[in-house]
Structure 1
Amino acid sequence: MQSRSARFRSPLIGRVDSRTFLKNSLPSWKRRIPEVATVVKNGSAGENETEARHDPAHAEFSVKIWTAVRPNNLDEKIDSIAEEIPVALVFNDISHVVMMASPGELDSFAIGFSLTEGIITSLDDIYDLQVSVGDAGIEVNVTLSNQCFMQLKDRRRSMTGRTGCGVCGAESLEQIRLPVPSVTSNNVVSHDALQKATMTLTDYQPLQRLTGAVHGAAWFDPEGSMVCICEDVGRHNALDKLIGCLSKRKLLGEPGFLLLSSRASYEMVQKAAMAGIAIVVAVSAPTAMAIDIARKASISLVGFSRDGRHVVYSNHQRLI
């Protein structure tokens, strides 16, 4: 079991020092976060290892509030508020990025981020993954294969994110877009399945129902039944957590589709492409760049999935 004292280290990659950044953050959440253990070794959890997960229940806490219901009158009650904490991702003892995230499923977050940022190509590229809680933040230390780590050092990409910010800290315009692979898939889904999934999405978002402040990224099977869902204050984080979860369960590449509770920005479509996801559905609108990337990556992009309708923006042949 890890000590609660995180080992914050100076970075050799980019400009982010997790010690400096996290030291200035409020530690009031710390007592609500449980300790965790090693979660990955040599690409898979061993029989005697704990598959540690921050309990999503710790991603919210209660506060007293006062609501103005009519002039000169305040009603007092207890409300649930979403947690937002600094999470430092450290690769081979070198700090890479600090993100603001919900304190749940951080092992999946690190795995998904590594995949969608092109740091690794599969879970086998991760030899070890440890999560530790410090006085001012949580550190996720990932041990990469030597080849992946050398490639990461060559890229020298580092950023200080706000809440799952997709481009904060990129050192040049060229770094904003990763080379996006073309997704080859015969995966198809019916319009009825999309609507079934959309109508049931909120049923699987307990944190959103409690706080009204988080995004959801979910994987549904071709019949529209929910397989896996992750929630986070950042929509990019929620997607990274989902992709990490799917990778651990060996479900990446299986038939189904991605459903987002948010808009479809270019970062979301880019992450989907990096994970080989062929069908991306969002309850809100896509951006122009998202449509452009979807078309280049052969992704079927669907927006405005709500109220019994949806709009297909690219590769409509997968919708039957």
Structure 2
Amino acid sequence: MDDRTVKKDITRMFSDGTVKKIDDDMIVEKRIILEVDGSREAIVIFTPGEEELWALGNLYCRRMIESMNDIRSIKIDDSRIIVERANKIEGWKLESRFLHTASGAFLQEERDNNDPSFLPLEWQISFDAIMSGIDWIAEAPLFRQAGSVHVAALVSPEGKRLFRTEDVGRHNAVDKAIGWLLKNNVKTSDAVLITSGRLPEDMVLKGAGARIPVMASISAATANGADAARRCNMTLIGFARNGRFNVYSAPERIKFNSEEKISEGEKIA
């Protein structure tokens, strides 16, 4: 049995007055403590599974590790993820030791003072490859079974599907995806991150801090998220659905299938 879901008795009501008692699949949340070098770093609520990937991604995004070479050991039990680092890097501070499912994790002053460096234009990805990745997150099994989870996926610049994960927290899902890149020695600068969640400033800075040059979502970006993407030259894509998407920054990384170009000042509906 999948320990990420449980069946619960619920009452389903219909507009015609029908009432049914049914067993419904519901997502399980797990509370776990992250300890780093003997100190409690955070308490996180997330979907069980892929705990190691989450820890790697979270620490990498906060610049507490730079590669797997900075990890001496990771141990996981029912209530703790225990990380011992080979190299102790200060990194970015946490806004709170308790990371709820929507937590952006970073202090505002840390974000303001630690904008990621400029992301160079090294490759392009096709419109179709982006939309294929969007279709892939819509097919995520846990979301289809029970809902109430966010999905994060990784594709290559050529559109190859690399990894997909689900979690009650949108930041958790992204951390797990980035952790997969580290664990499998895949360059973060050679990956496209696709997510089901919105794209505010803290999410954009998480991806940019991981040196991911393209982020796409079925949801929208905020104005601050778009500004953050422009500052570091990230290609930020939102509202990717129904054969279209909005590009908020660095559209040069998108390779179209036709020779049509958007003229200066043309409005995109």
**Code of the aligned partner of 1:147:** K
Q: Does residue 94 of the first structure (1) align with residue 39 of the second (2)?
A: yes
Query: Secondary structure at the residue paired with 1:251?
Result: coil
Cα deviation for residue 160 of structure 1 reads 1.4
Which of 50, 54, 58 is the aligned partner of 1:109? 54
Cα deviation for residue 197 of structure 1 reads 2.0
Match of 2:264 in 1: none
Match of 1:5 in 2: none
**Code of the aligned partner of 2:82:** N
Match of 1:163 in 2: 101
**Code of the aligned partner of 2:103:** C
Cα deviation for residue 92 of structure 1 reads 1.1
Cα deviation for residue 196 of structure 1 reads 2.2
**Code of the aligned partner of 1:303:** G
**Code of the aligned partner of 2:104:** G
Which of 101, 116, 119 is the aligned partner of 1:183? 119
CA distance in structure 2 between the partners assigned to 1:245 and 1:272 by the alignment: 14
Q: Which moved more, 1:57-66 or 1:250-259?
A: 250-259
> In 2, are the aligned partners of 1:62 and 1:80 still within 8 Å (CA)?
yes
Which of 68, 71, 81 is the aligned partner of 1:123? 68
Tell me the TM-score normalized by structure 1. 0.74
Match of 1:16 in 2: none
Match of 1:293 in 2: 228
Match of 1:139 in 2: 80
Cα deviation for residue 72 of structure 1 reads 5.4
Cα deviation for residue 102 of structure 1 reads 0.6
Cα deviation for residue 258 of structure 1 reads 1.2
How is 1:269-280 mapped onto 2 (pairs within 5 angstroms)?
269-280=204-215
* Distance change in 2, residues 1:143/1:256 (3 Å): closer
> In 2, are the aligned partners of 1:99 and 1:164 still within 8 Å (CA)?
no
CA distance in structure 2 between the partners assigned to 1:283 and 1:73 by the alignment: 34
Which of 249, 253, 261 is the aligned partner of 2:184? 249
Corresponding pairs, count: 254
Percent pairwise identity: 29
Cα deviation for residue 223 of structure 1 reads 3.6
* Distance change in 2, residues 1:183/1:69 (3 Å): same
> In 2, are the aligned partners of 1:236 and 1:267 still within 8 Å (CA)?
no
Cα deviation for residue 79 of structure 1 reads 0.9
List alignment gaps of at least 5 residues for structure 2: 256-269
Query: Secondary structure at the residue paired with 2:246?
Result: strand
Tell me the TM-score normalized by structure 2. 0.87
CA distance in structure 1 between the partners assigned to 2:47 and 2:5 by the alignment: 8
**Code of the aligned partner of 1:142:** V
Cα deviation for residue 267 of structure 1 reads 1.7
**Code of the aligned partner of 2:100:** R
Cα deviation for residue 156 of structure 1 reads 7.8
Q: Any idea what the Cα deviations from partners look like across 1:247-284, whole Å, max 9, x if unmatched?
A: 11111236341111111121221111111111111111
* Distance change in 2, residues 1:74/1:162 (3 Å): same
Q: Any idea what the Cα deviations from partners look like across 1:44-70, whole Å, max 9, x if unmatched?
A: xxxxxxxxxxxxx32111111111125
> In 2, are the aligned partners of 1:100 and 1:164 still within 8 Å (CA)?
no
CA distance in structure 1 between the partners assigned to 2:191 and 2:249 by the alignment: 17
CA distance in structure 2 between the partners assigned to 1:74 and 1:86 by the alignment: 34
CA distance in structure 2 between the partners assigned to 1:306 and 1:186 by the alignment: 26
Query: Secondary structure at the residue paired with 1:142?
Result: strand
Q: Does residue 83 of the first structure (1) align with residue 28 of the second (2)?
A: yes
Aligned Cα root-mean-square deviation (Å): 2.1
CA distance in structure 2 between the partners assigned to 1:65 and 1:143 by the alignment: 44
Q: Any idea what the Cα deviations from partners look like across 1:64-120, whole Å, max 9, x if unmatched?
A: 111112565421111111111212111012101111111110100000000001111
